[in-house]
Structures are given as structure tokens and as C-alpha cells.
Amino acid sequence: MKILILNWRDITHPQSGGAECFIHELGKRLAKTNEVTLFCGKYPGCTLEDEIDGMKVKRMGNQFSLYLRAATAYKKHYFDLVIDDINGVPFFSPIYSDARVVPVIHHVMGWEIFKKELPMPLSYVGYFAEKSIPKIYKNQHFIVVSESTKKDVSEMLGVPKDNISIVYSGLNIDTSASVPKSDVPTLCYVGRVKSYKRVDDIIRAFAKILEKIPDARLIIAGRGEYDDLRTVANELNISSNIDFRGEVEEDEKVRILSSSWVCMMASMKEGWGLGPMEANICSTPVVAYNVPGIRDSMKDGETAYLVKDGNIDMLAEKALKLLTDKEDRERMSKASYDWASTFTWDRTLQQLLEAVDLVEESGYKYSE
């Protein structure tokens, strides 16, 4: 098959995240038996054409114009399949492609996230573009990454549940760089630093933890702007206990996750909790808000403690329980690894192909 993948970024983009990882891992496996082209936006210093893991990569336009560029670049009668990855703003590929379209949605952004992440009037544009998805992709079979996203796509966008299949994300983190748990009680947040991730809530919870465990440490690592977080830490007078690590390489990420006693998350919502799953595969339990995406990837009481959304006191309380109860922490550490180790990318691709009835056409063979 000739397959076109549409995504606003590719894995090399400086702001790539979980959605780009999902698409890349599926694309490179499809490329073993198919001709795969990934279309995405440009970024400073990139090449316009590339080949990565067997996929042809073509980059055009910025985060706004690439949608129009895709429509003009790809006409009918060429591709057999279009995998249309929707990150809030859709590509509207059914309008200009006569190939079969498989729309992929990681999470429905909704007005609250558009309002936080985009300035006016772009927030309105993004919101109304997202709301138009059921009309443009009418009768298409949607792929989502969690039960929560399926619920949102059905209830918020009005897509019939029979037209939605769940395909769970895999993990490709290399745990060979793992290290023993730190001698000092250590917590971490590893992920992008964005407003909807609410990393400031983690810092406020950590301040309460320090009242009980004065020598505790918090590591915050990931791409993003840290000035506001440093301001919060300074106001709480806890900066000396926080290591603002910034963006880190994969090996360093594994060392942080594996050495930490607890990983903390405070997102408003996720499509699928890739960050907490990476903590779990490093044998680290999670304390997080009970929000869409996180509640799907975590097993409350086994691999994580999930607390009421926005309750910083409970966030701190459950983290304290894990930090002070060694038996409970070790129980959850083992359960975390056992759970996360079952999620592989080969299984993810098999689920996707089965969901859209393309196993035979793809030429892909899956074995346990």
C-alpha cells in the first residue's frame, strides 16, 4: 500500500511529544512492508525532505499553514490510505483525498485547553475547527488512544461509539540506563512544561511534603519555560530542594524516573498517560489527579494513587504515604513495572490494523 500520514509535527521537531511518538512508531513499522510518506510542518533548521526509519518525511508550512499546504500538495488517485492524526486542528483530509481515511485522535482539546494554549482569536479558530470534525469526517472510523478519549469524541463531538476504536499506545523507553532508587526521598515530574500540565500544582504539593520530610527532593525535567515555576518555588522558599533540570536526553530521563521514589502528575487531561506509563516501566509509582487519560493508563491503588482533580492537599498526602511506607512503595513499584511492560508498539500496530480491517493489506505480521 501507499500510505500518507498527516501530523502537524514529526519526531525530530523540537516540540514533538507523545502524539508524534505514537505516529512515528506506527509509521516505521508500516514502512517495513509499505510505502509510507509522513507530511508535517517545518521548523527552524530542518530539511524539507528526509527519510527516517524507512518513512519519507516531507515538511511544509508552519503550525497554521501546513493544513492548507497538505490540501494543495496531495491530490487524488495516489495514496491507498491516509492516517490523519488530529491534534486539535484537523487536516480535513476527506475533502481532498479519495483514499481511505483513518482519523486518529489523542484527546479532545475543548475550549478550556484552547483558551490556555492559544491567544485570541486563534483559540476560537482552533475550537471551532475541532467542533467541525464530525461533519468533515462523517462515517469515518476513528482511532483513539483511551476510553476517556472515546467518551469525549462521542459526547463532545457527537461521533457514534460504533465508529470509534481504542488503540493503546506502546512504550519504547530503553530501561537499560536505569539506576537504583535514590538514598534521599525523591519525587519527579518528567514531561513537557505547559500550562495545562499544571506543574505549579506539583510544586505547591511538594511544599507541603517538605513540612513532613525536610530533606525530600523534587526533580522537574522536560522541554518548556521554567520562569513561572521558579517564581512559585521562590515564593514558597523551597527552591533549594528543587532541581529544575530542563530538557534531558533519553538516558537521563530514565535515570530520573528510575531513581525517583514517586512520579507526580497534575495535567488537566491527557489522551493517554504516556509520562506516567514511562515512570511505571521504570518501576516508579505515580501520584496524579484523576483526570481523563491518566485514569485510563494508571491502575488506582496498584500503579498509582489518583486523587480528586485540583486537590493539592490530597496530592501531597498520597505522595507522603508512598514516601513513608516502604512496603506499599515496593508493592506498587513491582505492580507498575508488570503493568507497563505489557504495552508494546507491535501490539499497538496490530490493534490499529484490526480496528480498521487492514491486517491483510498491510503485509504486517505480528507475533507475541
Within a domain: residue 144?
A: yes
Rounded CA separation 170/180 (Å):
24
Residues 163 and 187 in one domain: no
Q: What is the pLDDT of residue 205?
A: 98
Q: Are 34 and 362 contacting, i.e. CB atoms less than 8 angstroms apart?
A: yes
Q: What is the pLDDT of residue 170?
A: 94
**Residue 202 burial by Cβ neighbours in a 10 Å radius (0-12, 13-18, 19+):** buried
Q: Which helix (H) or strand (E) holds 69?
A: helix 66-73
Rounded CA separation 178/186 (Å):
15
Q: What is the pLDDT of residue 89?
A: 83
Q: What is the pLDDT of residue 58?
A: 97
| Residue numbers of the domain that contains 128 | 2-170+344-362
* pLDDT band of 368, cuts 50, 70, 90: low
Residues 125 and 224 in one domain: no
Per-residue pLDDT reduced to its tens digit, 46-97: 999 999 999 999 999 988 899 999 998 887 778 999 999 998 789 999 999 8
Residues 128 and 218 in one domain: no
Residues 148 and 184 in one domain: no
How many C-beta atoms lie closer than 10 Å to residue 179's C-beta? 12
Rounded CA separation 159/134 (Å):
6
52 grid coordinates: 527516517
How many C-beta atoms lie closer than 10 Å to residue 250's C-beta? 11
Residues 331 and 256 in one domain: yes
Per-residue pLDDT reduced to its tens digit, 159-209: 999 999 999 999 988 999 999 999 999 999 999 999 999 999 999 999 999
Of the candidates 81, 79, 23, the residue with the CA atom closest to the CA atom of residue 52:
23
Residues 247 and 352 in one domain: no
Per-residue pLDDT reduced to its tens digit, 306-332: 999 999 999 999 999 999 999 999 999
- Torsion sign, CA atoms 339, 345, 350, 352: positive
Within a domain: residue 368?
A: no
Residues 157 and 288 in one domain: no
Strand partners, 120: none
Per-residue pLDDT reduced to its tens digit, 268-288: 988 888 999 999 999 999 999
CATH of the domain at 278: 3.40.50.2000
Strand partners, 309: none
Within a domain: residue 291?
A: yes
Within a domain: residue 259?
A: yes
**Residue 44 burial by Cβ neighbours in a 10 Å radius (0-12, 13-18, 19+):** exposed
Within a domain: residue 239?
A: yes
Within a domain: residue 118?
A: yes
Per-residue pLDDT reduced to its tens digit, 84-121: 999 878 999 999 988 999 999 998 887 777 877 777 88
Residues 158 and 23 in one domain: yes
Within a domain: residue 367?
A: no
Q: What is the pLDDT of residue 139?
A: 86
Within a domain: residue 18?
A: yes
Could you give the count of Cα atoms lying within 13 Å of 128 in the half-sphere of its Cβ?
A: 5
Of the candidates 356, 292, 338, the residue with the CA atom closest to the CA atom of residue 145:
292
Per-residue pLDDT reduced to its tens digit, 293-306: 999 999 999 999 99
Q: What is the pLDDT of residue 361?
A: 85
Residues 27 and 111 in one domain: yes
CA separation, residue 207 to residues 169, 213, 285, 318 (Å): 33, 10, 20, 14
260 grid coordinates: 525517583
Residues 56 and 11 in one domain: yes
Q: What is the pLDDT of residue 42?
A: 96
DSSP string, 162-196: GGEEE--------GGG--PPPSS-EEEEES-B-GG
121 cis-preceded (ω within 30 degrees of 0): yes
Residues 141 and 274 in one domain: no
Residues 219 and 151 in one domain: no
Q: What is the pLDDT of residue 93?
A: 94
Rounded CA separation 356/333 (Å):
36
Q: Are 43 and 25 contacting, i.e. CB atoms less than 8 angstroms apart?
A: no
The domain tally of the chain equals: 2
